[in-house]
Structure 1
Amino acid sequence: MGENETNQRPLSEHFTPSTYTSTSCIRVPAVQVAQYEIKFSVIQMLSSFYGLNNKEPYKHLDEFLEIRSTVKIQNFFEDALRLIVFPFSLKDKAKQWLNSLDAVVITTWAQIQQAFLKKHFPIGQTNHIRQAITSFSQIDGEQFHETWERLKDLIRKCPHHAVPKWRLVQCFYDGLTDRNRQMVDASCGGTFIHKSENEAWQLFETLSENSLYHVSASRTEIPMSGPQRKGGLYEVGQFVAINTKVDMLSQKLDHLLSIGQIPRPTNSPQTFQDVCTLCTNPSHYMSEYPLAGQFPEYVQEQAQAAQSFSKLGNDPFSNTYNLGWRNHPNFGWKQPNGFQAPPYRQNFSNQWNAYREPQQPLPLRL
């Protein structure tokens, strides 16, 4: 009967989704509380973990446990409350990973924590941080307290680095600069190698606090006179900068004014330089032209013009070239003073009237 009913089902039902039951790998242990409520404000306070490579899983666990510690339910196990609330802090890829663990059954907080770190803190990242710890070194210009905090930050990112404490102390001491290493030796009287790992760790903590105190004190110190200057910077005075700019502008102006000028001999009192008439080049005299010997008349004319330029006169009858020739009476179209043009129109009209035959009046026809 059942097989016949299955065969009689239409084909469309085989492609239609049936009822769905969400499967979760988390199995919350039984609690004695019949009803409980987790407020929505608590869920909103949870930090979100999206499963990206640049996120720190240990930091997310610390923030989750810090917020979850504010929630208390009477007669409710601690692991059970963590297992219920933790899935709300996972988003996107991290939430898909949790839902894909259908073949795994998680009943304790330690199990889900171990699976979470195994997924989002791979072996390659562990080796990278472990190598950064064992080869730790101080950066140039870095203060002592900054170096110490950077090492502790690496340890905090990877608590399972498996580097012993004595090895951490030795790596930090060897990675310091010569100046800071001498400071450590001087602070303990040169007996650093004879200290235990805990004593050396506490010594680094004390020196870090002193370094932070001195840096903060120097930054908040009020100068007695004049503006405060930043360390490591060379400041230039305002007047020095202005003088430098003025000098640069003067050089540029001199360069612009020197463009197009022609060098002149130092022993020549002449202040005028004419262009070469033969090649029209202003960089030399016509007498310096290679073929100037074939044109002596032009050379003589230019020489006379250059000699009379400094003492211009208004002598139209001079034997040398000068601009006064423009006023010569024979070289202009201008009429001399007192000259009157003949009455051309009047004479022409009189001659025309003399030669014109008189006209007889036409007879009138009646």
Structure 2
Amino acid sequence: MSRFQSLFKPELSELGIAWPEVQAQTITYPPSLIQLIQNNLFHGLLNEDPYAHLATYIEICNTIRLAGVPEDAIRSSLFSFSLLGEAKRWLHSFKGNSLMTWDEVVDKFLKKYFPESKTAEGKAVISFFHQFPDESLSEALERFRGLLRKTPTHSFSELMQLNIFIDGLRPQSKQLLDASAGGKIKMKTLEEAMDLIENMAASDIAILRDRAHIPTKKSLLELTSQDSLLQDVQSVVELMTLDVVSLVKNQLFNYMGNQPKNTFNEGGFTGFQNGQQYQQQRQWQNHPGNQFNRDQGGPSNRPQQQVPSLYEHTTKLEETLAQFMQVSMSNQKSSESAIKNREVQVG
């Protein structure tokens, strides 16, 4: 036994992990490897995934090869560096070489942090899988695979997984799969059905990629032109609205001014309305030289100005808007043509 082994063997025994038998006289781990492992610490919290931790830890350990040192020996000897807090205390609870192999370490670790209750919960989530209303086939397939990875101990066979996935799809997705299969997709073999689903999901991804295409400089300029046109139309519509409202007010005012005045003084008590004082007052107000007539809009010999009707005015506004739309669309086409020519010149 090398001096290196004799120095470190007691520490491993205190953690419950037996020192692995190796042929190498000395084992030297680069500090960068320890740093990578400690960047992937597992604390034993409920929201942590022990399977994901093990997968990342093994991937890091596989980056090093030592002559005369098996892979499992490297994993066993460095595993304690990947734990912290409650998980570290759990490893310390094992005494005296109770964990002899890497497989035993993994088995104890998963039983502690991924018990049967989590397996049952994960299996239930997988069993009740369904495609969301706004989820594409490719997105649903990736999410279903994520559920399987999250619960590796689900024990569902590949055929059961396929049936669960197909049964959870929306009717539209099922119809597309059946159409591509030339019948019921469940009548195909496992390999054929998976190939059809993979191919359709790949086409689905291509469609999503096209929809998520970043706008080019050309499309941005076109969008600016369209926004400008919409803004101009909105301004004209607002002006038309204000003009029509003003016209309605003026016609309503003229209509009220031409109606007989039935105020309290004129249409009140009959005796006072027909009295001499009232007639004299009316004669004085109707006198041609009276300033009252000029100031208050009384009788006048000037011809009244003809105000266009609401229908005529609205028709004119509609014609104006139509002309404006034609000119704006023509200007937009000219701008787009100029942009295209400019892009061709720029290359």
Whether TM-score is above 0.5 comes out as yes
Secondary structure at the residue paired with 2:208? helix
Matched, 1:45 2:36: yes
1:165 aligns with 158
Any conservation in 1 of the 2:185–2:193 contact (CA below 8 Å)? yes
What's the counterpart of residue 287 of structure 1?
265
In structure 2, how many angstroms separate the alpha carbons of the residues matched to 1:86 and 1:246?
Answer: 73
Q: Of 79, 84, 93, which aligns to 1:86?
A: 79
CA contact (8 A) 2:20 2:73 kept: yes
**Alignment length, in residue pairs?**
273
Relative to 1, partners in 2 of residues 1:36 and 1:245: Cα closer, same or farther, differing over 3 Å? same
Hey, what's the Cα distance between the residues in 2 that align with 1:255 and 1:166? 71
Of the three residues 178, 186, 190, the one matched with 1:185 is 178
In the alignment, is residue 213 of structure 1 matched against residue 219 of structure 2?
Answer: no
Matched, 1:268 2:257: yes
Deviation at 1:166, TM superposition (A): 1.3
SS in 1 for 2:205: helix
Shift, 1:85, TM fit? 0.9
Alignment partner of 1:32 out of 19, 23, 29: 23
The 1:65/1:303 distance shift into structure 2, 3 A limit, reads: farther
Q: What letter matches 2:255 in structure 1?
A: T
- Residues 76-114 of structure 1, C-alpha deviation per residue, up to 9 Å, x if partnerless? 233221111111111233223222344882111111112
Q: Give the 5 Å matches for 1:3-22.
A: none
In proportion to residue count, which structure has more helix? Answer: 2
1:166 alignment partner, SS class: helix
Deviations 1:160-203 (A, max 9, x none): 10122211111111122222212211222215233233332233
**RMSD of Structure 2 on Structure 1 (CA):** 4.5
The TM-score normalised by the length of structure 1 is 0.59
1:84-163 to structure 2, matched below 5 A, reads 84-102=77-95, 105-163=98-156
Taking structure 2 as the reference length, what is the TM-score of the superposition?
Answer: 0.62
CA distance in 2, matches of 1:303, 1:127: 104
SS in 1 for 2:19: coil
269 and 34 in structure 1: CA distance in 2 versus 1, 3 angstrom threshold = same
Return the offset for 1:155. 0.7
Change (3 A) 1:290 1:155: farther
| Structure of greater Rg | 1
Task: Name the CA shift for 1:82/1:302 in 2 (closer, same or farther; >3 Å).
Answer: farther
Deviation at 1:248, TM superposition (A): 5.6
Deviation at 1:115, TM superposition (A): 1.8
Whether contact under 8 Å (2:136, 2:204) holds in the other structure is yes
Q: Share of identical aligned residues, percent?
A: 29
Give the corresponding residue for 1:69.
62
Please tell me whether the aligned partners of residues 17 and 96 of structure 2 are also in contact (alpha carbons under 8 angstroms).
Answer: no
Cα pair 2:285 2:292 within 8 Å, conserved:
yes
Matched, 1:56 2:34: no
Deviation of 1:250 after TM superposition, in Å, equals 8.0
Whether the 8 Å CA contact 2:17–2:98 is kept in 1: the answer is yes
2:229 match = 239
Unmatched tracts of structure 1, length 5 or more: 1-20, 231-235, 271-283, 313-366
